[in-house]
Each structure stands twice: as C-alpha cells, then as structure tokens.
Amino acid sequence: MRLAKYVVIALVFLLSGCVQHKANKKTEKEPQKELSATNSTSGSANEYIALNDSVRNALIVRGKDIARKTTSALQKHLKKAIKEEGLEYAVNFCYTKAMELTDSVSEAESVTVRRLAKKYRNPVNETDPEESELFKSYILEWLGGRPLSPKIIPDKEGHPVFYDPMYVGTVCLNCHGEPGKNITPELMKTISELYPEDKATNFKKGQPRGMWAITFTEYKVK
C-alpha cells in the first residue's frame, strides 16, 4: 500500500515531462510591475521594452516562474489519471492533452509556453533553425562542463523569448531512455504508434533533453 503510494507520486512527478502547454497570464503578473516601471512606453497590444539588464532579469524571473508553474499544474492535472490507470495510459494522455493544448495556442493569450527539442518526440515541438543553433551552443557549453543559464532572445516579431535548457532525470528515462533497457517493449510499442517520427529515446541521465521557450507576446523589444 505504502509502496503503491510512492509509485503514484513518482509517476505524477515524472509525467510532468510530457506535455507542451500554455500558462495563464493572469497568474503571472508580478515581475511585470518591474518591467512597466523601468522601461516600457505604453501600448495596448504590445508594450515596448528596452532589453537592458534589469528587464532581462525580470523576464528571466518570470520565465522561471512560469516554467515551474507549468510543471506543477500538469502534475496536479495528471494525479487522478495516473492513480486510476498506468504508464501506457499516461503516454496516451500526454498525447491527447498535448494536442488539445497545442490547439489552444492559437487563442489570444499573452504568454506562450513551449517545450522544444532537437531530438523530438512530437514534431510540433521541433526547434527551428535558430533555436537549433541555440540548443547546439548549450550542448557545447555543457560538454565543456560549463553551467548553462537561461537566455532572453527576441523572436522574428520582436517578442522576447525566454529559453532555458532542461535535463534528463532518472524518471525521464522511463520514456526517453534506452528502449529495452529503460523503456519497456510494451511502452515502446505505444510510443512508436503514437509518434512514428519519435527521435526522443536513448537519452542518458544528466544530458540536456530540450529547452523551455516562453514567448512574451505582450512585449516588443525596442
């Protein structure tokens, strides 16, 4: 009984890895004050900001907070599903949920949260050429043993984007590790059926798996 409880907790924790989704801007207001106070000229759809150090830092604080909240929101959401079903069901759940949430990205919201990967499972999460370069530079830094830090980079429309690498933890190996060793054959079968283009296996613990990309669509860089 006790063991079952720990298994459920572990599953809930590990499943926070699977879904791409979008944060609700209403819960993410705090550092905006700082942004408005320091640097913006007013604008209804877009506030223009200068990307100086204090704005950059405020966006990083906000990005980290959204990433953390995204993770915990998903954990909460999945708790019930996992209690009643198993790991394979959970992959299916991620599949449908991710699609649903991706569709909602077209709705008007001020923050778009994506989880990107060069070696992706779902092709919608693939890094574009610039993001691939950024990820490559993260990998090189990582190989050089340097600590990786978040970055704020404007996108083509001028919206600032928060990027931060995420790493493979032990639990992630269940679905992103070596097939046959970390990933059971049954689970691998489900994954390949849902994601015929899957490239997100054979990761090792501690490797960068992908990165957060949080676009602040309410701001434009001057």
Which residues are near ligand HEC by CB under 6 A? 14-15, 17-20, 87, 90-91, 94-95, 98, 115, 117, 120-122, 125, 166, 168-169, 171-172, 174-176, 200, 209-210
Residue with nearest beta carbon to ligand HEC:
17
Task: Mention every residue, 6+ apart, whose C-beta is less than 8 A from residue 167.
Answer: 206, 207, 208, 209
Of the pair 81, 87, the CB lying nearest ligand HEC is at: 87
From residue 51, alpha-carbon distances to 79, 146, 160 in Å are 39, 25, 9
Q: CA–CA separation, 2 vs 9, rounded Å?
A: 11
Q: Which amino acid is at 172?
A: C
Q: CA–CA separation, 100 vs 156, rounded Å?
A: 26
Cα angle 132, 18, 112 (rounded to 5 degrees) comes to: 60
CB of 202 to ligand HEC, least distance (A): 13
Of the pair 32, 122, the CB lying nearest ligand HEC is at: 122
CB of 106 to ligand HEC, least distance (A): 16
Instruction: Tell the residue number behind the tokens 């070696």, with chain if given.
Output: 119
Of the pair 51, 171, the CB lying nearest ligand HEC is at: 171
Of the pair 14, 60, the CB lying nearest ligand HEC is at: 14
CB of 16 to ligand HEC, least distance (A): 6
What region, left, alpha or beta, does residue 202 occupy, with left being phi > 0 and alpha being psi -120 to 50 degrees? Answer: left
Of the pair 113, 200, the CB lying nearest ligand HEC is at: 200
CB of 19 to ligand HEC, least distance (A): 6
CB of 10 to ligand HEC, least distance (A): 10
